[in-house]
Amino acid sequence: MKYWVLESGSKGNCSVVESNGQFLIIDCGGSKKYLESCFESIGLNYLDALALLVTHEHSDHIKQINMFKDLRVYAPCEILSLNNEVLIEAFEEFEVGCFKVMPIPLSHDTEKTVGYMIYDGEEIISIITDTGYLSHECQEMIANSTYYIFESNYDTEMLMNSSRPAYLKYRIISDDGHMSNDYSSKVLSYLIGNNTKEIVLAHISQECNTPELALSSLITTLESNNIDPEKYRIHVAEQFGMYKGGQ
């Protein structure tokens, strides 16, 4: 399995998972020009994808949905003007080509938000962003994945000292908001196992976080739990800056 994080953050999100000559696209925010240039750079025609998987209806995840309207689209909610949409439910696994896909229920300020655990027969990638917390049931389900694309959205001190209005701060730190560096690091320290190879910290706030703070939080937490961070490839995704992971 290999994968690309094409963009990650409040201005747009899109990832690609490829195995056995087949690939899936996860979310499609950002600009059409940027996404087209990304697919050209990685040498994939996005219209050849098996499917588009949508996590939820916020614009930074579906803004360019019309680019992919000819693909089969799997989503937890109805998206207007799509004729080929398949509505999915959390914990109900489905197959697309060589992939088995398990939707993971998340807690965000939409009617339904999911992450995805994707299995190609050999390796598993778990993609978890846009959630205020991750239940123990979900943690157990995605534990010991090979790869993680995992939200580490904000540094609490930076957020609370920011100029953002109070209602927005409390929305972000609520159970329906996003995961902080500290919380994300604690969950990841439980999740990673002998099969884990790589962690990508994702959806980093450009105003209330830094890549250095997110990375430092994870490394410190792993070390405090007697886990050697050197055993894993750890990367922090950029808002606009592609990252290739996997084999």
Using one digit for the tens of pLDDT, what is the confidence trace for 43-89? Answer: 999 999 999 999 999 999 999 999 999 999 999 999 877 889 999 99
List, for residues 78-132, the tens digit of each pLDDT value: 987 788 999 999 999 999 999 999 999 999 999 899 999 999 999 999 999 999 9
9 touches 31 (CB < 8 A)? no
> By three-state DSSP, how is residue 37 classified?
helix
The pLDDT value given to residue 153: 98
Amino acid of residue 40: E
Sorted by where each begins, the domain ranges of the chain are 2-246
Nearest alpha carbon to residue 148 among 176, 122, 120, 117? 117
Provide the CA 243 distance to its chain's centre, in angstroms.
Answer: 13
**Domain at 2-246, CATH from 3.30.2130.10, 3.60.15.10, 3.40.50.10860, 2.30.30.280:** 3.60.15.10
Nearest alpha carbon to residue 187 among 160, 153, 157, 237? 153
List, for residues 130-177, the tens digit of each pLDDT value: 999 999 999 999 999 999 999 999 999 999 999 999 999 999 999 999
